[in-house]
């Protein structure tokens, strides 16, 4: 079964060359997902010279592998946001996200991007009466935050619900077609967009110097790190967010039971549902089965999601894909300076699986930071905030989990090489000598160091995607050790296969 995403599979992407010389620009943007490309466009349009560095290719990160809803309604968010951060914060959050939705329409119109952009209501539904109060509280809180939220008791889905919150004026799109359209406009405006160019370090200064794995540097007045989780450890974002991976399965769909809106359930594990009209046919997409990256079996999660789709809609999945997003400790993304001392290096991360509208909105905030302008959303998303009351529980829980993995995974008894089936991988060996061993389909063994090149946790085999995933901060590596997702920037080191 295909494991590419529907979005990457149905876009004619234009390959771009790696950075082949040293360059000097006003702003270097690192990462060509929705946040990086939107930020590059904002900055270029306001007159800055811009270079974009992308480690893999446009849309290779979370922006190319999601369910592609553009929305300000994010599950059940507003009641909690208001309780933790206050009503003004909830209003700013709603305003930023709705602005991101509207901006997607503006950009698609201005740049003539054919990306299946279409208005739909977004709905969060509860199947059980136990969640009815939470849904009602969300309707009220989302309304106070300024969204047109209403309570609904029946949906056009093939099962009963207890209650739902529905917000009109949201949208869905084809994210990779949108990204390609923005990328082409950037190139038309003279922006250098280099793919296959991993940034490995940023020396802050005037100018900043961005070092790349290809050996070339970019000298830039400011740097925007839009790499999902920043690969720079300063700012400690790896300790202020945790990575959650979730899955999407899809199939061509001719029925009428999948509703006219976009849906997300309140239960755990939650389920996301929507259809997408593509060419002459319709696809049904179902998402869910989240877990902390590197800490569950992907194959089992895919199978559970496929069973759910078959049971609820009578459709067998023909495509599957997955990605992860960063969950911030206090529930609010981080957008602003990387730390207290590097005045011209900026980051945007922690989008909690809702970074499409928010990534577009973030680009305006990033441009304001780079240009030294104030912005109405600045204090809510400020990276230097300290809201201990809102963050403490999650901060302690997630960092205790990382500490446990760092120590515990060195001590567990490891697999025997003989137990590794063709196409599979296991960690073998003891303590510091642990190796990540993969047996290819022909039976040959390939070994890598099992120590993640970020901060040294022991990677785990992901059987559903055939990758090595780090259970601490979510770095992911291919079977040859190459980085698929950071914060790591260096590959796993090769080792001698066990005999």
**Binding of residue 124 to ligand FAD (CB under 6 A):** no
Q: Binders of ligand FAD among 327-356, rule CB under 6 A?
A: 351, 353-356
Neighbouring residues of 420: CB distance < 8 A, sequence distance ≥ 6: 426, 437, 438, 439, 445
Q: Could you tell which of ligand FAD, ligand FES, none binds residue 455, using a CB distance below 5 to 8 A set by kind?
A: ligand FES
How many C-beta neighbours within 10 Å does residue 8 have? 18
Minimal distance, residue 69 CB to ligand FAD, in Å: 4
Quick check: 383 and 337 in contact, CB under 8 A? yes
Q: Which phi and psi angles does 266 have, rounded to 5°?
A: -90, -15
With respect to ligand FES, which residue has the nearer C-beta, 103 or 454? Answer: 454
Number of residues lying near ligand FAD (CB under 6 A)? 40
427 in helix, strand or coil? strand
Residues 131-190 that bind ligand FAD (CB under 6 A): none
Which helix or strand (DSSP H or E) is residue 63 part of?
none
* Residue of 264, 332, 380, 488 that binds ligand FES (CB under 6 A): 488
Calpha distance 470→11 (Å, rounded): 30
Q: Which of 34, 117, 145, 273 binds ligand FAD (CB under 6 A)?
A: 34
Question: Is residue 51 part of the contact set for ligand FAD (CB under 6 A)?
Answer: no
Should residue 460 be labelled a site residue for ligand FES when binding is judged by CB under 6 A? no
Q: Does 452 bind ligand FES (CB under 6 A)?
A: yes
Place of tokens 């990534």: 359
Please, is 114 exposed, middle or buried when counting C-beta atoms within 10 Å of its C-beta (0-12, 13-18, 19+)?
A: exposed
455 lines the binding site for ligand FES (CB under 6 A): yes
- Residues 357-386 touching ligand FAD, rule: CB under 6 A, are 357, 359
The H or E element that residue 178 is part of is helix 175-188
Q: Which of 63, 23, 19, 26 is nearest to 43 (CA)?
A: 26
**Residue choice 7, 48, 49, 69 for contact with ligand FAD (CB under 6 A):** 69
Joined together, the tokens standing for residue 457 give: 């946790």
Report whether 434 contacts 410 (CB < 8 A): yes
Neighbours of 68 (CB within 10 A): 27
Asked whether position 450 contacts ligand FES by CB under 6 A, the answer is no
Using CB under 6 A, which residues numbered 188 to 247 contact ligand FES? 238
Helices (H), 289-421: 298-313, 355-370, 378-381, 388-411
Least distance between ligand FES and beta carbon 470 (Å):
3
| Nearer to ligand FES among residue 287 and residue 471 (C-beta) | 471
Cβ closest to ligand FAD, residue 277 vs residue 444: 277
> Which of ligand FAD, ligand FES, none does residue 116 bind (CB under 5 to 8 Å by kind)?
none
- Sequence-ordered alpha helix ranges (H) in 215-297: 237-240
Q: What are phi and psi of 67, to 5 degrees?
A: -100, 0
Q: Does 356 bind ligand FES (CB under 6 A)?
A: no
Indicate which of ligand FAD, ligand FES, none lies near residue 36 (CB less than 5 to 8 Å, by partner kind).
ligand FAD
Query: Locate tokens 């894909």: which residue?
Result: 321
- Contact status: 470 vs ligand FES (CB under 6 A): yes
- Residue whose C-alpha is closest to residue 486's, from 495, 494, 478, 476: 476
Q: Which of 199, 450, 472, 492 binds ligand FAD (CB under 6 A)?
A: 199
Q: Binding to ligand FAD by residue 62, rule CB under 6 A? A: yes
Give the chain's radius of gyration (CA, Å): 22
Q: Measured from the CB atom, is 74 or 454 closer to ligand FES?
A: 454
Residue 419 CB, nearest distance to ligand FAD (Å)?
31
Choose, by CB under 6 A, the member of 19, 50, 117, 472 that binds ligand FES: 472
C-alpha distance across the termini of the chain, in Å: 33
- Binding window for ligand FES (CB under 6 A); candidates: 162-170, 333-341, 422-430, 449-457: 449-457
The two structure tokens encoding residue 352: 């909690």
Taking the complex as a whole, the smallest distance from the CB of residue 344 to ligand FES amounts, in Å, to 26
Q: What is residue 92's three-state secondary structure?
A: helix
Among 5, 11, 35, 462, binds ligand FAD (CB under 6 A): 35
Contact 8, 64 (CB under 8 A): yes
Give, in order, the Cα–Cα distances in Å from 359 to each of 194, 211, 343: 20, 25, 22
| Partners of residue 439 on adjacent β-strands | 445
Measured distance CA(140)–CA(142) in Å, rounded? 6
CB 209 within 8 A of CB 217: yes
Q: Which does 439 bind (CB under 5 to 8 A by kind): ligand FES, ligand FAD, none?
A: none
Report if residue 194 touches ligand FAD, rule: CB under 6 A: no
- Phi and psi angles of residue 403, each rounded to the nearest 5 degrees, phi first: -60, -40
Nearer to ligand FES by C-beta: 414 or 454? Answer: 454
Task: Quote the least distance from Cβ 489 to ligand FAD, whole Å.
Answer: 5
The one of ligand FES, ligand FAD, none whose footprint includes residue 475, by CB under 5 to 8 A per kind, is ligand FES
Residues between 406 and 435 that touch ligand FES (CB under 6 A): none
Q: Which residues form the interface with ligand FAD (CB under 6 A)?
A: 30-36, 53-56, 60-63, 66-69, 198-199, 226-228, 231, 246, 248, 287, 323-325, 351, 353-357, 359, 486, 489
Query: Which residues of this chain interact with ligand FES, rule CB under 6 A?
Result: 238, 452, 454-457, 470, 472-475, 487-488
């Amino acid at each position: 079964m295909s494991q590419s995403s529907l979005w990457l599979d149905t876009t004619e992407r234009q390959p771009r060359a790696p950075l082949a010389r040293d360059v000097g620009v006003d702003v270097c943007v690192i990462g060509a997902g929705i946040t990086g490309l939107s930020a590059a466009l904002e900055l270029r349009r306001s007159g800055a010279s811009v270079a974009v560095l992308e480690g893999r290719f446009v849309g290779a990160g979370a922006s190319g592998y999601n369910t592609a809803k553009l929305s300000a309604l994010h599950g059940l968010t507003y009641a909690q946001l208001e309780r933790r951060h206050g009503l003004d914060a909830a209003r700013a959050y709603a305003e930023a996200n709705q602005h991101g939705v509207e901006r997607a329409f503006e950009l698609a119109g201005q740049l003539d991007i054919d990306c299946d952009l279409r208005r739909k209501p977004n709905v969060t539904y509860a199947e059980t009466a136990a969640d009815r109060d939470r849904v009602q509280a969300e309707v009220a809180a989302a309304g106070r935050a300024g969204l047109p939220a209403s309570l609904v008791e029946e949906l056009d889905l093939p099962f009963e619900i207890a209650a739902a919150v529905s917000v009109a004026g949201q949208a869905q799109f084809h994210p990779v077609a949108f990204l390609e359209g923005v990328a082409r406009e950037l190139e038309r405006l003279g922006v250098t967009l280099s793919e296959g160019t991993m940034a490995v370090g940023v020396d802050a200064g005037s100018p900043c110097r961005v070092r790349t794995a290809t050996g070339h540097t970019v000298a830039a007045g400011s740097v925007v790190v839009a790499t999902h989780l920043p690969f720079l450890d300063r700012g400690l974002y790896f300790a202020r967010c945790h990575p959650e991976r979730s899955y999407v399965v899809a199939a061509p769909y001719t029925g009428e039971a999948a509703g006219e809106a976009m849906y997300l359930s309140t239960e755990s594990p939650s389920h996301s549902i929507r259809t997408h009209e593509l060419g002459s046919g319709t696809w049904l997409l179902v998402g869910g089965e989240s877990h902390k990256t590197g800490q569950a079996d992907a194959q089992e999660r895919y199978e559970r999601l496929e069973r759910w789709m078959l049971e609820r809609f009578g459709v067998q999945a023909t495509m599957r894909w997955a990605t992860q997003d960063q969950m911030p400790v206090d529930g609010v993304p981080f957008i602003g300076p990387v730390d207290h001392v590097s005045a011209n290096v900026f980051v945007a991360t922690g989008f909690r699986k809702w970074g499409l509208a928010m990534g577009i909105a973030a680009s305006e905030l990033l441009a304001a930071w780079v240009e030294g302008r104030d912005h109405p959303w600045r204090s809510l998303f400020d990276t230097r905030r300290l809201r201990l009351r809102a963050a403490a529980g999650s901060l302690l829980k997630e960092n205790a989990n990382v500490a446990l993995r760092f120590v515990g995974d060195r001590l567990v008894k490891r697999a025997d090489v003989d137990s590794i089936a063709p196409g599979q991988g296991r960690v073998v060996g003891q303590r510091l000598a642990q190796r990540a061993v993969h047996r290819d389909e022909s039976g040959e063994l390939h070994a890598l160091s099992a120590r993640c090149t970020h901060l040294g946790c022991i990677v785990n085999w992901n059987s559903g995607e055939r990758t090595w995933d780090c259970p601490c901060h979510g770095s992911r590596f291919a079977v040859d050790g190459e980085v698929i997702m950071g914060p790591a920037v260096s590959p796993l080191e090769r080792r001698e296969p066990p005999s």
